[in-house]
Amino acid sequence: MSVDIKHPGPLNIAEFDCHAYPSTSTLLDERCRICIFDRLGIEGDIDQVALRRTHSRIYCSHDVSKLAKIFSTLKQLALDRTLYSKSDAKECKKCIDERMHELVDETWDKLLANPHDPKPLDDLAQKQRKLKGKCAECTREYFLKLLELIKDRMKSATATLRLKPKNYDEAFVACVKPFFVEGVWHPPPSQAHLIDSYDLSDGRGKIKIYEQPKPPSAVLRTRPAGVQAACGST
> What is the mean predicted confidence (pLDDT) over 160-189?
78
Domain ranges in the chain? 1-183, 185-234
Q: What is the pLDDT of residue 182?
A: 56
Confidence band for 233, pLDDT divided at 50, 70 and 90: very low
Which 3 state secondary structure label does DSSP give 65?
A: helix
Closest C-alpha among 52, 58, 72, 56 to residue 115: 72
Residues 6 or more apart whose CB falls under 8 angstroms from that of 214 comprise 191
CB 194 within 8 A of CB 214: no
Q: Given this model, what pLDDT does residue 230 score?
A: 39
The number of helices, as runs of H, and strands, as runs of E, in the chain is: 8, 8
Q: Which has more confidence, 215 or 41?
A: 41
pLDDT above 50 (res 154)? yes
* Closest listed residue to residue 61, CA positions, set 177, 181, 192, 171: 171
For the ranges 1-15, 51-65, 93-107, 132-146, the maximum mean pLDDT occurs at 93-107
pLDDT digits (tens, 9 = 90+) for 35-93: 999 999 999 999 999 998 878 899 999 999 999 999 999 999 999 999 998 877 778 89
Whether the pLDDT of residue 104 is over 50: the answer is: yes
| pLDDT tens figures, 113-145 | 999 999 999 999 999 888 777 788 889 999 999
| Neighbouring residues of 189: CB distance < 8 A, sequence distance ≥ 6 | 210, 212, 219
Q: Which of 77, 75, 47 is nearest to 62 (CA)?
A: 47
**Is the pLDDT assigned to residue 23 strictly greater than 80?**
no
